[in-house]
Amino acid sequence: MVSRVLKDLTGRTGKTASALFSHWGVGGRFVAIFTPMALFTLINSWDMVVHNSIPLSWSGIIGHHLLFDLLLLGVLAIASLLAARAWLNRQNDNEALLIAHGELEQIFNTASDGLIVTDLEHNIVRISDTLLTLTGTSKQQALASKCYDLLPGLVCGTPACPVTRILAGAERIEYEEEKILPGPGKLRFSIIGTPLRGSDGKVVGIVQSFKNITERKEMEEALKEGKEFAANLISSSAMPIFVLDPSHRVIFWNRACESLSGVREDEVIGTTNQWQGFYDQQRPTLADLLI
């Protein structure tokens, strides 16, 4: 009677142990399977000892495998400890991975340049908070979009498309492009793209960084316009004007200076022969002395 009750109890214990130790890997499953069997055999043998079916002596214990059951339980106890240790190590590894993932996520989202990850079908799989702010789009909307819908550009749908170039074997792509975004309007980006590879080394997508260079480009264009304006002003001035760079080379020689000196612009531009327009022999001009 006792053995039947204990058998039922160990059967239930086995199901519980199986659910518990399944998280411990192969060793845990081994423990879960054989522990209830060993417990049942040991308890059944002990029940027989209690009811004098087995004499409590070395010959009786050995003859009825009671010693074997004890040894088996010892082995299972050691296996349980090893499985528990492996499970704890795996838990520690998982915690370390979670911490590392959190740190990488923070770096991804706080990078000054916008970052985006797309698959080979142009689906956006990850996007940084910086780029979300630039585009004025929610994360949910962005992850449901294609890259060419969220960030349309002139290269989209052409052989110059970054995904197309990556699939063709390019390892790094750098280019500048103007994007028209719903919120801020026209923005100029410096874009760098690199392939994203899976564990087997195959290309599974592309990672792109978007650096907003709109202000820099506007400054460059303003400087260029200012330089062109100054050049036109000097060229059309009725006053003879020439300009030297820090190396005393002529960079401007206007028409009035040509008329006064009789020296054409193409004869002195890029040279240090500005003295020819004013002296018979080489000597520094007043402009040379001021540099």
| pLDDT per residue as tens digits for the range 105-143 | 666 666 678 889 999 999 999 898 888 888 888 889 999
Identify the pLDDT of residue 103. 56
238-241-245 Cα angle (round to 5): 155
Kindly tell me if the per-residue pLDDT of 148 is higher than 60: yes
Identify the pLDDT of residue 14. 46
Query: Average model confidence (pLDDT) for the chain?
Result: 76
2-7-9 Cα angle (round to 5): 95
Residue with tokens 């994203």: 196
Beta carbons of 210 and 191 less than 8 angstroms apart: yes
User: What integer is the mean pLDDT of 255-271?
Assistant: 91
Kindly tell me if the per-residue pLDDT of 2 is higher than 90: no
User: What integer is the mean pLDDT of 94-101?
Assistant: 56
Identify the pLDDT of residue 179. 85
Kindly tell me if the per-residue pLDDT of 198 is higher than 90: no
Beta carbons of 117 and 125 less than 8 angstroms apart: yes
Runs of H (alpha helix) within the chain: 2-21, 25-50, 58-63, 66-110, 129-135, 139-143, 147-150, 162-167, 214-236, 255-261, 265-268, 286-290
Instruction: Extract the tokens encoding 121.
Output: 């079908």
d(CA 258, CA 235): 10
Identify the pLDDT of residue 235. 83
Encode pLDDT of 72-84 as tens digits. Answer: 666 666 766 676 6
